[in-house]
Amino acid sequence: MINESHEIDCSKWNRCSMWCAMIGCLGMSIVANFQKMNMRGVHFLGADMVLGGGVLYTIFQAKISYDLRELARKHEAYGIKHKNILLRIIISGVCIVLFFVLVGFGYASEKDLQ
């Protein structure tokens, strides 16, 4: 265990991340219980909750990893490697782009059905 005092406090980011994950899980339940053909609006709301919650979760986890990079420099056994931090940031960026692509195509396909 590390006995030094650190200025790094990620507890609020961890809580935000947890709430985003719960929103994503609730959205997954909504998507599973409301079929697209019967209740389109509710189904799309659930899909947006899943995708949005997942994207925010990855962003918050990447921020936590980035904030803990100083700890990785001091104590390699306890920290996160630089390449893992970079990978999490890249994955977050890809998730952001894909979120807007999927939401755009989802609503475009909805217009084609009407």
The per-residue pLDDT string of the chain (114 residues; one tens digit each, 9 = 90 and over) reads 444 555 667 889 999 999 999 999 999 999 999 887 788 888 889 989 999 999 999 999 999 888 887 776 776 666 677 888 899 999 999 999 999 998 888 778 777 666
pLDDT in the model for residue 110 = 72
* Separation of alpha carbons 24 and 21, rounded Å: 5
10, 11, 52, 60 from 27: Cα distances, Å = 26, 24, 9, 19
For Cα atoms 17, 47, 50, give the angle at the middle one, nearest 5 degrees: 15
Question: How many residues does this entry show for the chain?
Answer: 114
Question: Can you tell me the distance from the alpha carbon of 40 to that of 110, in angstroms, rounded to the nearest whole number?
Answer: 8
**pLDDT score recorded for residue 91:** 95
Q: What is the pLDDT of residue 65?
A: 86
Give me the amino acid identity at 23.
Answer: I
61 contacts 54 by C-beta, under 8 angstroms: no
- Estimate the share of the chain in helix, then strand, then coil, as percent rounded to the nearest 5: 80, 0, 20
Residue 67, pLDDT score: 84
Type of residue at 74:
K
Tokens 């609503």 sit on residue: 107
pLDDT of residue 1: 47
d(CA 55, CA 51): 6
pLDDT of residue 4: 53
